[in-house]
Amino acid sequence: MEITERSAAHIARDVNGGTISAREVTDAVLAHIDAVDGDVGSYLTVLHEHARAAAARVDERVKAGEKLPLAGVPLAVKDNMCLTGTRTTAGSKILERWQAPYTATAVERMIEAGAIPVGKANMDEFAMGSSCENSALGVTKNPYDLSRVPGGSSGGSAAAVAAFEAAIGMGSDTGGSIREPGAFCNLVGFKPTYGRVSRYGLIAFASSLDQIGPLTRTVEDAAIAYEAMAGWDRMDSTSIKRYVEPVSRELRTDLRGLKIGIVKEFDTKALGAETHAVYEQAYRDLQALGAELVDVTLPTADYGLATYYLIAPAECSSNLARFDGVRYGLRVEGADVNEMYEKTRAAGFGPEVKRRILIGTYALSSGYYDAYYVRAQKARTLIADDFRKAFASCDLIAAPATSSPAFQFNAKSDPYSMYLMDYYTIPMSLAGLPALSVPCGWVTPPGGDCEMPMGLQLTSPLFTESLLLGAAHAYEQKTKHASKHKPLLGEVPVHRG
């Protein structure tokens, strides 16, 4: 197996054992990035010298006798996370030349565990999107079919891991932005419980929803990455002071004794025969592993989209007010300060960001605050309560991660059809629950000429990451869907059914 194709656990084991150095791994991955990223477009900035210096420090630590859980593991960092001295853009023209003066806590913890940041990954501007098409600074393609999107907003991180340009990608998930690109790119995309991973150093979109998590090729790697990045941080007031269990040592091989809920409202028949068959088979596989399937209901789940698209834009309109041309980022001069504000924000923000700022400002405005924002917060409470009731009769919930495989560029040009892509992931985000997507099968999209991956979403109660990752590991080990196809890496798609 090529160095670039090894799992994070495999790389760390080899580097800690002295059979390969972190520098050798880093050089191999950087060479691979230079060879393929012109086609894939995972990165906005490749950190050649930074990565080699980090690898040298890891090799010194290993030589001194340290055992690092992520020793030498190549890491793609989503470009809304600060890393000292690196360009950090959030995929926006308004921050196109901004350099981070400090490092995000989650990134710092990954580096302390031995990971090597090899690049800053492309993303939908300020994490607003489901396809990575909203980036103002580059185009990222799905490594399994370069005519299709990688998912968003963490599309660059997902594509990097899928194309073997990193072993772990760091993403942020507000309404599905880790889980959806995970499903589209044949990866495990894991969103921990809200507050489990520090948001300090993450450029905010919607502060009550944003959560950092990993994108990996295996559940074991997701567990190791979670252990490294999770935990209380005094720099983040929403960070939760609670023990982080050693999840990587508690991965399961079966699901005996577990009850898994199938949501009555999430009927997959309307998704098309092939997609419906993939999810039905996934549920049967859970049963074959020993789980008891039970019906559960989430009566308010259908209100998730409307609720999310009031709360998230409202928080975004507040958070993005700081980008005004005064303190940092782009400045377009004007006749006075008001004209400077207007010109800077008009030139610096893309159409989707402007759309959400306008929606959010309207929802928070006098006369509409109670009618929209307050009612959305009440609906959010009801959605969380529905999950609590559902978990009274089951241990986990299984659902689709997406309604379709990755779609072609420009296929969803109207905002509403794009927003619908988050239908199955938003309710879990509103409730703050841990959730992940794990590869569950392959579908040939209409008009497509090659199979594309699909993801099964698993969700568990608050702070039960060990249960969630353990169940996903059992499913992954039995089904091995991810290993059916390798990415094309620039080749012309051919039918591989």
As annotated, the active-site residues are 78, 153, 177
DSSP 170-222: EEEESSSTTHHHHHHTTSEEEEPPTTSB--TTBPPS-TTT-EEEEEESSHHHH
Tell the burial category of 337 from Cβ atoms under 10 Å away from its Cβ (0-12, 13-18, 19+).
Answer: exposed
Contact 471, 223 (CB under 8 A): no
Other C-beta atoms within 10 Å of 270: how many?
8
85 residue type, one letter = G
CA distance 377 to 363: 12
- In 3-state terms, what secondary structure has residue 81? strand
**AA identity, residue 417:** S
- What does the alpha-carbon distance between residue 155 and residue 407 come to, in Å, rounded to a whole number? 13
Whole-angstrom distance, CA of residue 181 vs CA of residue 455: 9
Question: How many angstroms separate the most distant Cα atoms in the chain?
Answer: 70
Rounded-to-integer distance, Cα 158 and Cα 180, Å: 10
Q: Assess contact for 163 and 140: CB atoms under 8 A.
A: no
Tokens of 34: 């230079």
236 and 198 in contact (C-beta within 8 Å)?
yes
Tokens matching residue 411: 């296929």
Which residue matches tokens 């990755």? 406
Neighbours of 416 (CB within 10 A): 9
Determine the Cα–Cα distance for residues 393 and 430; give it in Å rounded to an integer: 21
User: Strand 435-443's sheet: what is its strand order?
Assistant: 43-46, 116-121, 74-78, 168-173, 211-216, 188-191, 435-443, 452-459, 396-400, 259-263, 292-296
